[in-house]
Amino acid sequence: SRGYRVELTPGYDDRWGYLAGTDSDRRKQLLTALNDPACRGILCARGGYGGARLLEDWSWIGHDPKWLIGFSDITSLLLSLSQQGISGVHAPLLTTLAAEPEWSVQRLFDWVEGRSLSPLQGTGWGGGQASGVLLPVNLTVATNLLGTPVQPDFADTILALEDVGEAPYRIDRMLTQWRLCGAFKQVKGVAIGRFSQCDPPVNIPSFTVEEVLRDRLGDLGIPIVSALPFGHDGANAALPVGLIAHLDGDRGLLSLDPIAPG
């Protein structure tokens, strides 16, 4: 209805164990889309697991720049792509787009069609204001990339975090790893999206995920905004990777640089 022609890559519904096809076949599917001059964007079908496996023998160099759209497990591909200076979009997948509210769908199309994006309202934790390169990630996937060639440069970034289905102690363990490896020392601000299905285990002493986030992030001395509308199990606002973002920890706002006319 928006005037786009949608093509499904051959083998998009393949199965190989818990993966959507062998690594070789999935690389071929991605290469087919990247090398097709008529294809101006790649909307990933789903997340799950397996994206990082494609990066063991992979280079984006030599392919036409085009939008790569997705989130969750697609974090690994988005981070790899950003290392080449090419922006992807942390946004809904093909399998989640239909459940998005209209404003979220419109936001995604606004971006790919060259229109500026409205600020997102969350809950400010204080810390003043900061600007930096927007780096939206799934916490679990990004944690597993620390210490690898795909680990991003965290210097002068606004880190946007979300996750799903992780117990509070697992969130604690991952954030502690980030602290120990020094990643947070370079980050200018943290934007927190939805941590869904991250409830404490029943009848076991635990912190809530909110308590863990405040304990592990609250002393960083940088602007932090939580309850932003992105992530799993709800509205997943499109966040372009690599754009300059502005985080206001006092007013609870995440805003992006406007697109230049022309």
Which of the residues 72, 76, 80, 82 is marked catalytic?
Answer: 72
C-alpha distances out from residue 172 to 15, 149, 156, 190, Å? 33, 24, 24, 16
The widest CA-to-CA distance across the chain, in whole angstroms, is 58
Active site residue 232: yes
Report how far residue 79's alpha carbon sits from residue 127's, in angstroms, rounded to the nearest whole number: 27
Bridge partner residues of 160 (DSSP): 136, 191
Determine the residue type at 72: S
Q: Tokens standing for 143?
A: 């944690």
Q: Counting beta carbons within 10 angstroms of the beta carbon of residue 192, is it exposed (0 to 12), middle (13 to 18) or buried (19 or more)?
A: buried
Which of the residues 76, 80, 100, 162 is marked catalytic?
Answer: 162
Active site residue 162: yes
Determine the residue type at 178: W
Q: Tokens standing for 189?
A: 């601000």
Q: Name, in order, each residue with C-beta under 8 angstroms of 258's C-beta and a sequence gap of 6 or more.
A: 116
Q: Name, in order, each residue with C-beta under 8 angstroms of 149's C-beta and a sequence gap of 6 or more.
A: none
Residue with tokens 């008529």: 38
Q: Name, in order, each residue with C-beta under 8 angstroms of 205's C-beta and a sequence gap of 6 or more.
A: none
Residues belonging to the active site: 72, 162, 232
